[in-house]
Amino acid sequence: MSKRSVADLKIGERATIESFNNQLMSLKLLEMGCLPGAEVCLHSKAPLGDPICLNVAGYCLAMRKSEAATILIDN
């Protein structure tokens, strides 16, 4: 099974960011505080399941599922 990403999280589930699989996207995400080792929690999803809202670094960050899929997490 391939690596899980933030896009696979269920509502309320927590995980730790491990790495990214898209370098350009990772620049934006890193700046917003999505760092390897940081804990994320899926807080809610927009209707239709996309975009999703994460709790990360003490605030709420919305992003598309395709962007969340570039954030790989620890199993």
Partner 1 sequence: MKSSPTIALVGNPNAGKSSLFNQLTGLRQKTGNFPGVTMDKKSGTWPIDAQYTATVIDLPGVYSIYPKSLDEQIVTDILANPAHPDYPDVSVVVVDASNLHRNLLLFTQVADLGVPTVLALNMLDVAHQQSKVVNSVRLAMSLGVPVVRINARTGEGVDLLKKAVLGQIQEPVLPGKLFFDPADEASGLIADTKTQYKLTNNYLALQYIIQHDGFSFLNQPQRKALDVIIQKHQFSETTFQAGETITRYKRIAAIVTEVVSDQRPANQPTWSQKLDRVLLHPVWGYAIFGFVLLLIFQAIFAWAQPFMDAIDSGVAWLNGQLKESLPAGPLTDLLTDGVLAGLGGILVFIPQIAFLFLLIALLEESGYMSRVMVIMDRIMRKFGLNGRSVVPLISGVACAVPAIMATRSIGTRRDRLITILVTPLMSCSARLPIYTILIALVVPSTRILGVFNLQGLALMGLYLLGLVSALLAAYVLKVLLRTKERGYFIMELPTFKLPRWNHVGLTVWESVRSFVWEAGRVILAISIVLWVVASYGPGNDMEEAEARVKQQNPTAASDALQDRIASERLEASYAGNFGHFIEPVIRPLGYDWKIGIALLSSFAAREVFVGTMSTIYSIGSGADEEGVTIRERLRQERNPETGEAMYTPALAWSLLIFYVFAMMCMSTLAATQRETKTWKWPAVQLVYMMALAYVTAFATYQLLK
Residues near partner 1 (CB under 8 A) are: 14, 23-33, 35-36, 39, 41, 43-48, 50-51, 53, 55-64, 67
Angle at Cα 47 formed by Cα 67 and Cα 56, nearest 5°? 45
Residue 1 or 48 with smaller CB distance to partner 1: 48
Instruction: Compute the CA torsion angle 20, 23, 24, 28 (nearest 10 deg).
Output: 40
Residue 1 or 57 with smaller CB distance to partner 1: 57
Q: How far is the CB of 1 from partner 1 (least distance, A)?
A: 26
Beta bridge partners of 41: 14, 55
